[in-house]
Amino acid sequence: MSASDATFPKLLRGLATKNPDQTALQEKRYGIWQPMTWSTYAARVQDFAHGLAALGVERGQIVAVLGDNRPEWLIAELAAQSIGAAVVGIYPTSIGEELLHILTLARVKVVVAEDQEQVDKLLKLRAEAAAAAVDPSAATSAPFADMPPLLVDTVVFYDPHGLEQYTDECLRDFTAVEALGREWGATHPGWLDEQVARGTSSDIAVICTTSGTTSRPKLAELSHDNLLAMADHLTAIDPIDSNDRYVSFLPFAWIGEQMLAVACGLSRGLTLSFPEDSATQKSDMREIGPDVMFSPPRIWEGMLSEVQVRIDEAGWLKRKVFGWGYDVGDKAAGRRVKGQGAGALGALHWLADQVALRPVRDQLGLARNQHAYTGGAPLGPDVFRFFHAIGVNLKQIYGQTEICGIAVVHRDDDIAFNTVGTPIAGTEIQIADNGEILLRSASVFKGYHRNPAATAEAVDPEGWLHTGDAGYLDDNGHLVVIDRQKDVLTTADGTRFSSAFIENKLKFSPYVEEAVTFAADNGMTAIITIDPMTTGSWAEHERLSYTTYTDLAAKAEVQDLVAEEIHRANEDLPESIRVQRFVLLHKQFDPDDDEITRTRKVRRNVIQDRYGLIIDALNRGDERIGITTTVTYQDGTKVDRTIDLRIFDLTTYRVPEGRGRRPVWSGRR
pLDDT tens digit sequence for 534-544: 899 899 989 99
Question: Could you give the residue range(s) of every CATH 3.30.300.30 domain in the chain?
Answer: 491-652
Q: Can you tell me the mean pLDDT for 499-512? A: 88
pLDDT at 631: 65
* pLDDT confidence tier of residue 636, bands split at 50, 70 and 90: low
Question: Do 555 and 535 form a contact (C-beta atoms < 8 A)?
Answer: no
Nearest residue to 598 (alpha-carbon basis) of 86, 113, 98: 98
pLDDT at 466: 97
pLDDT band, residue 640 (cuts 50/70/90): confident
Average pLDDT over the chain reads: 91
When mean pLDDT is compared over 136-140, 359-363, 630-634, the highest value belongs to 359-363
Residue (of 122, 102, 13) closest to 62 by Cα position: 102
What is the SS3 assignment for 364? coil
Q: pLDDT tens digits for 345-368?
A: 999 999 999 999 999 999 999 999
What's the chain's Rg over C-alpha atoms?
Answer: 26
Residues of the chain with CATH 3.40.50.980: 3-283
Of residues 660 and 24, more confidence is placed in 24
Is residue 515 scored above 90 in pLDDT?
yes
State how beta strands 271-274 and 292-295 pair.
unpaired
Query: Thinking of the domain 296-435+448-485, which architecture would CATH place it in?
Result: Roll (2.30)
Question: What is the model's pLDDT at position 213?
Answer: 53
Give the CATH H-level superfamily of domain 491-652.
Answer: ANL, C-terminal domain (3.30.300.30)
The string of pLDDT tens digits covering residues 592-615 is 788 888 777 888 889 999 999 999
CATH 2.30.38.10 in the chain: give the residue spans.
296-435+448-485
pLDDT of residue 142: 52
Amino acid (one-letter) located at 75: I
Q: How far apart (Å, rounded) are the C-alpha atoms in residues 260 and 405?
A: 10
Position 141 pLDDT exceeds 60: no
What is the predicted pLDDT for the residue at 309?
85
- Cross-sheet strand order for the sheet of 62-66: 171-173, 154-157, 110-113, 62-66, 86-90, 204-209, 219-223, 447-448
The answer to whether the CB of 139 falls within 8 A of the CB of 183 is: no
Rounded distance, CA 494 to CA 490, Å?
Answer: 6
User: 642: part of which helix (H) or strand (E)?
Assistant: strand 638-649
Q: Is residue 634 very low, low, confident or very high in pLDDT (cuts 50, 70, 90)?
A: low
Looking at the DSSP assignment, which residues form a beta bridge with residue 646? 624
Quick one: pLDDT at residue 495?
Answer: 66
1 pLDDT exceeds 70? no
> Looking at residue 493, what is its pLDDT?
65
Q: What are phi and psi of 625, to 5 degrees?
A: -145, 130
Q: β-pairing, 624-632 with 638-649? A: antiparallel
Q: Average the pLDDT over 54-78 and give the result.
A: 97
Rounded CA-CA distance 606/611 in Å is 8
With residues binned 3-state (H G I as helix, E B as strand, rest as coil), the percentages for the chain, rounded to 5, are 40, 20, 35
Residue 4: predicted pLDDT: 59
Query: Which one has a higher pLDDT value, 298 or 600?
Result: 298
Which among 170-174, 239-243, 509-513, 537-541 has the top mean pLDDT? 170-174
Does residue 264 carry a pLDDT above 60? yes
Rounded mean pLDDT, 212-220: 75
Write the CATH number of the domain with boundaries 3-283.
Answer: 3.40.50.980
Three-state secondary structure along 502-514?
A: HHHHHHCCCCEEE
In angstroms, how far is CA 66 from the centroid of its own chain? 16
**Report field, pTM of the whole predicted structure over 0.75:** yes
pLDDT given for residue 601 in this prediction: 80
Average pLDDT over residues 642-654: 93
pLDDT-based confidence at residue 323 (cuts at 50, 70, 90): very high
32 pLDDT above the threshold of 70: yes
pLDDT grade for 274, boundaries at 50, 70 and 90? very high
